[in-house]
A and B are shown apart, each in its own frame.
Chain A
Amino acid sequence: MAAEMALVKPISKFSSNLRPKFNTPRTVSYSIRMSATPTTTPTSTKPSKKPNKTSIKETLLTPRFYTTDFDEMETLFNTEINKNLNEAEFEALLQEFKTDYNQTHFVRNKEFKEAADKLDGPLRQIFVEFLERSCTAEFSGFLLYKELGRRLKKTNPVVAEIFSLMSRDEARHAGFLNKGLSDFNLALDLGFLTKARKYTFFKPKFIFYATYLSEKIGYWRYITIYRHLKTNPEYQCYPIFKYFENWCQDENRHGDFFSALMKAQPQFLNDWKAKLWSRFFCLSVYVTMYLNDCQRTDFYEGIGLNTKEFDMHVIIETNRTTARIFPAVLDVENPEFKRKLDRMVVINEKILAVGESDDNSLVKNLKRIPLIAALVSELLAAYLMPPIESGSVDFAEFEPRLVY
């Protein structure tokens, strides 16, 4: 689960403070740095706050941890209740995950420490934050998949094992990133994260939409960075990028599994509500990524990318991939869509500037109100742009007449 979905908060009657009992992974014995706040701009005259271990400050765009209705999940994947489960497809996926293409690949070498020692100044700080956020996002995927694997074991052993194998992949990714942080004399206390973070509740339906998108957009982000750096090695500032080619195939396969999950629940794909939710999640994921990346444009420019061009490429390709399963997607190639994203970036920058000003909290909140209203207005307008009808050929009424 490579991408972040911070803006996604569908209305739910359940408390977002629900804290399921997850198994606590072994604590890493490194000095701990817990930072979830955006990087302060170099021009800020305000002294930076000392990192606070005991509370994690979350902003609008912080990576989130997720939990779900596990009882409903069990009902959805009970083969006696749900006759739509395509067992051949899940068996095929299980074989694919058991193959474990990356079992021997995420092995570090001395290049890592050498490269880290050469990184100094602002780029070092920016890079550390990239590792932290990526590690947190991968770890949140690990927790969710591991719990689903545990809870579905009796109901549907095949689906349960696939979730467990996906959590293996995510744990491997998170571990690799955390070891990278050790090159910078830092480490995330993943055990602490498990207990201390607030969990966002998502119904299973939303887990499917959101997680599918997260995995597919993760594939496109990693493969784009990898292919760019392969042809521009002068920007290869840290060896972790060399592993992105193999890494991103894990993300892509995870997305395929969520395709199969959604196909097994046609009610999530075949009516007007499904189309509205599909578009909602596309918008949320794309906007979150665009705002996050533009906020950290120094990182992407530091590795030789144009941030907005990178993001638009990722959005267009992710949207094209998503059109193979979601019943409707956004028209992201309409130039108006990018213009709206760029206006949101400007609004977001102003919101951040208000937060960093010296005003008291009451004045800050008053100043934020019109900015948030403007952001909501742009989001709504983007959502209401005419969508593109889409979906798997397996569900297309016109399939017998399709030419391949």
Chain B
Amino acid sequence: MLGMGTLTLGSSTTMVAHTTLTSSNTLSGTKRHNLFNKTHSLPINFTLFSSFNKLTMPLTPFTTAVASVQSDSVSSSDAPPTKNELSKYYFLVANAKFMLDEEEHFQEQLFERRRYYGERNKEQDFWLVIEPKFLDSFPEITKRLRRPAVALVSTNGPWITFMKLRLDRVLAQSFEAESLEEALASNPTNLKFEKPDNWVAPYPKYESGWWETFLPPGQKEVNS
């Protein structure tokens, strides 16, 4: 079966080739390497329903990840990557103004899901990534995006399918990555949205910066 992302694209969309991202495990000296060596525990039982196991790859827990700053250029290794080290990530992407400023119900949904995960002690499996680096692997998508772009990334494929139905004006795809850190790597960007000239709703607009809650760990943005 093709990746979930291809199923969520409209039939008239040019099909984007599925790309596997791999990271070269280049070490650059013991001392420097230690600075970036982190232990990550990936969610194991994040699949909500066993009936969807076929749609979601089981995750193998990682204990070590190589720093993503060392893999700016993505290259494939000659040897086929070992399957059990790769995880699949599904995403939706659009310009940040649409996702984070105009679509206020989007914010409500993310907070609702976060609250739900908290109530049931579930590990977070969705994130917002502003100017994600993985877009470099999707030139057909990149050329159709206004910038800055923001992606909603999740290991839960069906949920991304649902969000595509809700948002409609987004592009959807998927990719594989060796680590969460690699998958969620981003280029630093300051987001600033102009106040709407004519806000007529009988309530105030949601406060800017609400999305910081959902940025990957260690990637909090400086909101000017």
Contact = CB atoms under 8 A, between A and B. Distances in A.
Contacts of A399: 10, 12-13
Given A88-B8, A99-B116, A228 B162 contact: no
B10 A393 contact: yes
Which of A89, A93, A310, A392 gathers the greatest number of chain B CB atoms within 10 Å? A89
Contacts of B52: 91, 95
B108 A88 contact: no
B48 A324 contact: no
B197 to A, nearest CB: 14
A101 B116 contact: yes
B144 A104 contact: no
Given A306-B202, A393-B168, A404 B146 contact: yes
Interface in B173-220: 200-204
Nearest to B7: A88
Contacts of A306: 202
Given A313-B200, A394-B11, A223 B108 contact: yes
A92 interface: yes
B98 to A, nearest CB: 7
Given A93-B165, A403-B144, A309 B10 contact: no
A392 B145 CA distance: 18
Nearest to B163: A92
B105 interface: yes
Interface in B103-153: 105, 108-109, 112-113, 116, 119, 144-146
B202 A400 contact: no
B165 A313 contact: no
Contact of A259 (B4, B105, B116, B165): B165
B159 to A, nearest CB: 7
A309 B7 contact: no
Contact of A95 (B4, B162, B170, B204): B162
A395 B159 contact: no
A310 B49 contact: no
B3 to A, nearest CB: 11
A235 B169 CA distance: 37
Contact of B158 (A92, A249, A305, A403): A92
B55 interface: yes
B55 A91 contact: yes
B144 A310 contact: no
B155 to A, nearest CB: 13
B10 A404 contact: no
A80 interface: no
Q: How large is the interface on B (under 10, 10 to 19, 20 to 34, 35 or more residues)?
A: 35 or more
A393 B171 CA distance: 10
Contact of A309 (B12, B158, B202): B202
Interface in A55-104: 86, 88-89, 91-93, 95-96, 98-99, 101, 104
Main SS of chain A's interface residues? helix
A295 interface: no
A343 interface: no
A164 interface: no
Q: How large is the interface on A (under 10, 10 to 19, 20 to 34, 35 or more residues)?
A: 35 or more
B164 to A, nearest CB: 8
B95 interface: yes
A231 B204 CA distance: 8
B133 to A, nearest CB: 18
B48 A99 contact: yes
B161 interface: yes
B159 A92 contact: yes
Contacts of B7: 86, 88
Which of B98, B108, B145 gathers the greatest number of chain A CB atoms within 10 Å? B108
A231 B94 CA distance: 31
Given A98-B49, A252-B105, A404-B95, A260 B165 contact: yes
Contacts of A293: none
Nearest to A306: B202
B49 to A, nearest CB: 6
Contact of B171 (A89, A252, A404): A404
A231 B171 contact: no
A228 B112 contact: no
A256 interface: yes
B223 interface: no
Interface string B44-78: 00001100100100000000000000000000000
Contacts of B171: 404
29 contacts: A88-B8, A88-B161, A91-B158, A91-B161, A92-B158, A92-B162, A92-B165, A95-B49, A96-B159, A104-B119, A219-B105, A223-B105, A249-B112, A256-B162, A256-B165, A256-B166, A305-B202, A309-B200, A313-B201, A313-B202, A392-B10, A395-B10, A396-B12, A404-B93, A404-B94, A404-B98, A404-B144, A404-B145, A404-B170
Interface of A: 86, 88-89, 91-93, 95-96, 98-99, 101, 104, 219, 223-224, 227-228, 230-231, 245-246, 249, 252, 256, 259-260, 305-306, 309-310, 313, 317, 324-325, 392-397, 399-400, 402-404
Given A88-B8, A92-B161, A95-B49, 13 more contacts: A86-B7, A91-B55, A227-B202, A228-B202, A231-B204, A249-B112, A309-B200, A324-B168, A324-B169, A400-B12, A404-B94, A404-B95, A404-B98
